[in-house]
Amino acid sequence: MRISFLGLGIMGGPMARHLAAAGHAVTVFNRTPAKAAAWVAAHGGQSAPTPAQAVHDAEIVLACVGADADLRAVTLGPDGAFDAMAHGALFIDHTTVSAEIARELATEADKRGLLSVDAPVSGGQAGAENGQLTIMCGGTTEAFAVAEPVMAAYARRIGHMGPTGSGQLTKMVNQLCIAGVLQGLAEALSFGKAAGLDLGQVVDVISKGAAQSWQMDNRAATMAKGEFDFGFAVDWMRKDLGLTLDEARRLGVSLPLGALVDQFYADVQAMGGGRQDTSSLIRRLTR
């Protein structure tokens, strides 16, 4: 298929690579053009200087940028994708954004005769590199049916969660689970260390029982060593918890732990850890 990919960051670059490897004709756009040129040199295809020029003959357009304002810029802004897309083309958004903008874009897509799916991902840089992402989708059954086989190039699991916005809402559930588990793990490791236990041995044993989690399996060892310069950035997590807390306010739902961990992440940012992995929550406890 003729595919355009907007945003070749940590996540978007490898996703676009998997699409090219699957045999699609891929045109890329990146705000910083050098990244697009490097991507084309490594993986073929072509690059374009604006979203509009990247998408005009595409059957499918994907985006993975930063936050709501960035997504609005590449879709509806000057030289944005939407006014240039062909009637009937599909827009898939992999950015983690608000459910509100997902709904706004679906309305704008509909006005132009386009299909759209909100499709945030989980699995991090490693999941993108290895083509093993979990993808949570919102949109019509018709749009999802077109999107699913394309996204299969880099997914381990793809779920259609409901109408437009449901993908983003599911991602918020995902982030709340991660925030709570990480704070629990940070406190547990700090406690174990203060008690004089061998943390490696502790984790080896309790990870075979009910305390096991993805975070324990993949982050406990580096947390114990104080290594955080990799993974999913605190700045992104604060964006995601902010979106989640806004949505909770709209829904009238109380999220005391989510709100508290959000503030703990603000502490980590103040300590200079904005780009560090989310497991750096433990730094607050080991100062």
CA–CA–CA angle 172, 146, 118 (5° rounding): 20
Calpha distance 258→176 (Å, rounded): 6
81, 90, 106, 121: residue in contact with ligand NAP (rule CB under 6 A): 121
Catalytic residue at 171? yes
**Closer to ligand NAP at the Cβ: 20 or 202?**
20
Give the pair of three-digit tokens for residue 98. Answer: 């608000």
Q: How many CB atoms lie within 10 A of CB 27?
A: 24
Our finding on whether 278 is near ligand NAP (CB under 6 A) is no
Taking the least distance from each CB to ligand NAP, the nearer of 192 and 232 is: 232
CB of 275 to ligand NAP, least distance (A): 10
Whose structure tokens read 């907007």?
6
d(Cα 206, Cα 225) in Å, to the nearest integer?
18
Candidate segments 67-75, 85-93, 111-119, 258-266, binder of ligand NAP by CB under 6 A: 67-75
The contact pattern for ligand NAP, residues 194-233, with x = CB under 6 A and - = no contact, is --------------------------------------x-
Inter-CA distances, 21 with 129, 170, 198, 247, Å:
12, 29, 45, 37
Separation of alpha carbons 90 and 105, rounded Å: 12
Residue 7 in contact with ligand NAP, rule: CB under 6 A: yes
CB 168, min distance to ligand NAP, A: 10
Residue 66 interacts with ligand NAP (CB under 6 A)?
A: yes
Please, which residues have CB within 8 angstroms of residue 72's CB and are 6 or more apart in sequence? Answer: 101
Give catalytic residues, as residue numbers: 171
Task: Give the footprint of ligand NAP on this chain (CB under 6 A).
Answer: 7-12, 30-32, 35, 64-66, 70, 73-74, 95-96, 121-122, 124-125, 232, 236
